[in-house]
Amino acid sequence: MRTLLLCAIIMSATPAFVSAQTQEDRKWNPFFNLDQYASFIGKRGADVWGFRTGIEWNKTWRFGAGYNKLSSDIIEEKALPATERPFSDQDTVKAQLFFNFYPVMGEAIFFRKDPWQASAVFLMGYGQSYFSYYDRDNIRRPLYKRGVFGMQPGCNVQYKLIRWVGLTAGLGYRFMLINNPEIETRLDSPVLSLGVRVFLGEIWKSIRGKEVGDPVGPGRGNNP
């Protein structure tokens, strides 16, 4: 709850910062982010892979959508429901947990001093969780597949390595507002993320600069 309160305060203060910027700074630029999340599922450590892409406006707001997928192997013993008994010779099987999530996002940049940025980010979206096992014919079959709905507030720090690429790190919490009623394993968890951000707008500017014959790239000038 402290993370939620912090992000709410930051986002409420950001519009004043936006209005103080010059008119020429107010423009759209695309971005792409690859993320690796360290979290917990139940009492076990679990990694989640993901990406986000969208638009940065006015160097202050980012809006986009993405995809997250559980990449760790979470294996549990599961009793087969009656509908699955014809496909297996056992009443209990070893099954692997699957979880995917399709969030939309809003991010408010509240500190920017090159090469650093700090921001508050809020993700919310729909996904699915289920277990999967192999039947007697070695065919993978899903168990207890249901939709889930969750949100993930947090704060991020970005360090720009070069003009086109930066590194990101973040801390937040994953809340499952609607969980899978068939699965007891809890998906709520603190989340630590590490990622790589690609500034597609800067790449496009560099490409355009070369196309028009700029030998040193945009923004460098032709000083002797």
Q: Rounded to a whole number, what is the largest CA-CA distance in the chain?
A: 80
Q: In the predicted model, is pLDDT for residue 95 greater than 90?
A: yes
Domain of 40 in residue numbering reads as: 2-13+24-70+105-127+150-211
Q: Is residue 79 part of a domain?
A: no
Q: In the predicted model, is pLDDT for residue 220 greater than 60?
A: no
Q: In the predicted model, is pLDDT for residue 72 greater than 60?
A: yes
Q: Is residue 96 part of a domain?
A: no
Q: In the predicted model, is pLDDT for residue 164 greater than 80?
A: yes
Confidence at 12, pLDDT banded by 50, 70, 90: very low
Looking from the CA of 84 toward its CB, the CA atoms found within 13 Å total: 22
How large is the average pLDDT for residues 127-149? 94
**What distances in angstroms separate CA 174 from CA 41, 52, 55, 194, 202, one per listed residue?**
11, 16, 23, 15, 32
How large is the average pLDDT for residues 108-119? 95
Q: Is residue 204 part of a domain?
A: yes
Q: What is the pLDDT of residue 210?
A: 61
Q: Domains in the chain: how many in total? A: 1
How large is the average pLDDT for residues 27-45? 89
Give per-residue burial for 12-41: e unless 16+ CB within 10 Å, then b: eebeeebeeeeeeeeeebbbbbbbebebeb
Q: Is residue 109 part of a domain?
A: yes
Q: What is the pLDDT of residue 16?
A: 42
Strand pairing partners for 118? 111, 157
Strand pairing partners for 192? 38, 171
Percent of the chain with pLDDT over 70: 82
Q: Is residue 118 part of a domain?
A: yes
Non-local CB neighbours of 7 within 8 Å, separated by 6+ positions: 120, 121, 122, 153, 154, 155
Q: Is residue 198 part of a domain?
A: yes
Contact 21, 58 (CB under 8 A): yes
Report residue 142 as tokens: 């899903």
Report the distance separating Cα 20 and Cα 5, nearest Å.
24
Residue-wise pLDDT for 47-56, tens only, equals 999 999 999 9
Calculate the CA 160 to chain-centre distance.
19
Confidence at 215, pLDDT banded by 50, 70, 90: very low
Average pLDDT along the chain: 84
Confidence at 193, pLDDT banded by 50, 70, 90: very high
Confidence at 218, pLDDT banded by 50, 70, 90: very low
Q: Which three-class secondary structure state does DSSP give residue 14?
A: helix
Q: The domain spanning residue 6 has which CATH number?
A: 2.40.160
Q: Is residue 78 part of a domain?
A: no
How large is the average pLDDT for residues 57-85? 93
Q: Is residue 216 part of a domain?
A: no
